Amino acid sequence: MAGNRTFTMIKPDAVESNNIGNILQMITDAGFTIKAMKLRRLSEDQAKKFYEVHAERPFYMELVEYMTSGPIVAAILEKDNAVADFRALIGATDPAEAAEGTIRAKYAESKAKNAVHGSDSDENAAIECAFHFADEEIVG
């Protein structure tokens, strides 16, 4: 059914600070089901392509450098209203503005190194899931 999947990455800062387990616990406690998951290190080309929409932004090269600085955990999550509910669970981009109890409030270092990614629309969720996973890597 459309709209019940989102895509997430646990970003290099959160992997480095040993928070993979804590973040996955928060995600599953919030009612999301993990449909696919992998630990991977993005190449520069992959990070540039993934964040292509931000290519003209001043932070683009810093973002690409950060996202290639260490491994990330990529995952496909399923839940009713997945995209909006996951954005609510992760909190605002800048952890200083993220609501208390959100993943970024708890685990993000800064606006740039902000622990997790969450898709911003159903359309982008589908694109991002396909960017990281082949159909046979997603559980039925």
Residues lying near Mg ion in the complex (CB under 5 A) are found at 120
| Residue 93 annotated in ligand binding | yes
Q: How far apart are CA 108 and CA 76, in angstroms?
A: 21
Q: Does 118 bind ligand RTP (CB under 6 A)?
A: yes
Half-sphere exposure of residue 44, counting CA atoms within 13 Å on the CB side? 3
Cβ count near 93 (within 10 Å): 13
Q: How far is the CB of 91 from ligand RTP (least distance, A)?
A: 9
Q: Does 114 bind ligand RTP (CB under 6 A)?
A: yes
Q: Does 131 bind ligand RTP (CB under 6 A)?
A: no
Do 98 and 85 form a contact (C-beta atoms < 8 A)? no
Token output for 22: 């804590």
3-state secondary structure of 91: coil
Considering only residues 35, 41, 79, 111, which one is a binding residue for ligand RTP as defined by CB under 6 A?
111
Question: Active site includes 54?
Answer: no
Q: Could you list the residues that contact ligand RTP (CB under 6 A)?
A: 54, 59, 63, 93, 111-112, 114, 117-118, 120
Specify binding-site residues. Answer: 11, 59, 87, 93, 104, 114
